[in-house]
């Protein structure tokens, strides 16, 4: 399917690894020019060198309140336009609610939520001009709470609400805003959990992977490019009537309405 993205410009935050890296690769395959933002400069440079499109690397910390505006300004200065913002940056600490620290709570909101807020605010006028779009990569924990995911669930719920807020504004101003809720995706972070599960249950990693997936009520874990392809679709004219949507890409793990 021709998605009509060739020549357009996207900012992808958290692009150095995992889901963000896959998003960058899929958008590049569709011909988009990319601004790659993350803290890992070496990984971003390696990724940019592997892509067959023009890339601008931004090795930055989006927790700094001044950084999002600087990234958007760099994108406009280099490419002269902005058509898509993908807010993907941010991982949150798991653990017992009663032992999670103030710093862990602050860090959880600082990058994933407030980083996205500031990126959206900085990018909005330019997305209005291009009639572009925003895709927020959130997570199913924002819809279904679990005891060990207090920070992540709270951050995700806030980001889902922000998606709806901006979609409401976007109806009037020509910016489409949608969110994707990944389930358990086979990234480095999930692999650490699998190894821990294997150790705790005295299993090999392949068996641990199967048992973990079964315990979550899914047939398998997802792959990063499955999220990336959903991003490309939501960014494209093929989804022109999809607005304010929250798309669960989780293998059926979320069973609530």
Output the pLDDT for position 214.
Answer: 93
Model pLDDT, residue 165 = 98
- Please give the pLDDT value at position 71: 98
What is the pLDDT at residue 90?
92
The dihedral of CA 190, 192, 195, 201: what is its sign? negative
For 221, residues 6+ apart whose C-beta sits below 8 A from its C-beta are 183, 184, 185, 186, 190, 209, 212, 213, 251
pLDDT at 1: 75
Helix runs in 131-223, H state only: 150-173, 188-201, 205-215
Within-domain flag for 194: no
Alpha helices by DSSP H, 34-177: 41-50, 67-79, 102-108, 114-130, 150-173
Is 136 among the domain residues? yes
Range of the domain at 129: 9-185+222-247
**Res 145: pLDDT:** 93
In a domain, 31, yes or no: yes
Tell me the C-alpha distance between 15 and 28, whole Å.
12
Q: For each of the chain's 257 residues, which pLDDT tens digit applies? A: 789 999 999 999 999 999 999 999 999 999 999 999 999 999 999 999 999 999 999 999 999 999 999 999 999 999 999 999 999 999 899 999 999 999 999 999 999 999 999 999 999 999 999 999 999 999 999 999 999 999 999 999 999 999 999 999 999 999 999 999 999 999 988 888 889 888 889 999 899 899 999 999 999 999 999 999 999 999 999 999 999 999 999 999 999 98
Domain total in the chain: 1
CA dist 257 and 53 (Å) reads 40
Look at residue 162 and tell me if it is in a domain: yes
User: Does a structural domain hold residue 2?
Assistant: no
Q: Establish if 135 belongs to a structural domain.
A: yes
- Predicted local confidence at residue 196, as pLDDT: 85
Q: Can you give the pLDDT at residue 105?
A: 97
Cα–Cα distance for residue pair 91/38, rounded to 1 Å = 12
> Does any domain span residue 156?
yes
Q: Answer yes or no: is 199 within a domain.
A: no
The CATH number of residue 159's host domain is 3.40.50.720
Q: Please give the pLDDT value at position 198.
A: 86
């Amino acid at each position: 399917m021709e998605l009509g993205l060739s020549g357009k410009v996207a900012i992808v935050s958290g692009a150095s690894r995992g889901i963000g890296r896959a998003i960058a690769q899929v958008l590049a395959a569709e011909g988009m020019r990319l601004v790659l933002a993350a803290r890992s400069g070496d990984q971003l440079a390696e990724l940019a060198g592997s892509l067959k499109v023009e890339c601008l690397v931004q090795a930055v910390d989006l927790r700094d309140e001044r950084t999002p505006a600087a990234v958007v300004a760099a994108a406009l200065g280099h490419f002269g336009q902005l058509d898509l913002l993908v807010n993907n940056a941010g991982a949150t600490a798991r653990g017992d609610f009663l032992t999670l620290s103030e710093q862990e709570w602050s860090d959880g909101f600082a990058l994933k939520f407030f980083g996205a807020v500031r990126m959206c605010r900085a990018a909005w006028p330019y997305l209005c001009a291009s009639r572009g779009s925003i895709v927020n990569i959130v997570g199913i924990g924002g819809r279904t709470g679990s005891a060990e995911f207090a920070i992540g669930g709270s951050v995700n719920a806030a980001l889902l609400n922000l998606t709806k807020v901006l979609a409401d504004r976007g109806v009037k101003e020509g910016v489409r805003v949608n969110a994707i809720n990944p389930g358990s995706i086979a990234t480095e972070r999930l692999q650490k959990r699998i190894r821990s599960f294997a150790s705790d249950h005295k299993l090999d990693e392949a068996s641990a992977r199967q048992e973990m997936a079964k315990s979550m009520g899914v047939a398998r874990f997802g792959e990063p490019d499955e999220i990336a392809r959903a991003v490309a679709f939501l960014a494209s004219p093929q989804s022109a009537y999809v607005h304010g949507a929250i798309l669960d890409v989780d293998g059926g793990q979320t069973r609530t309405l």
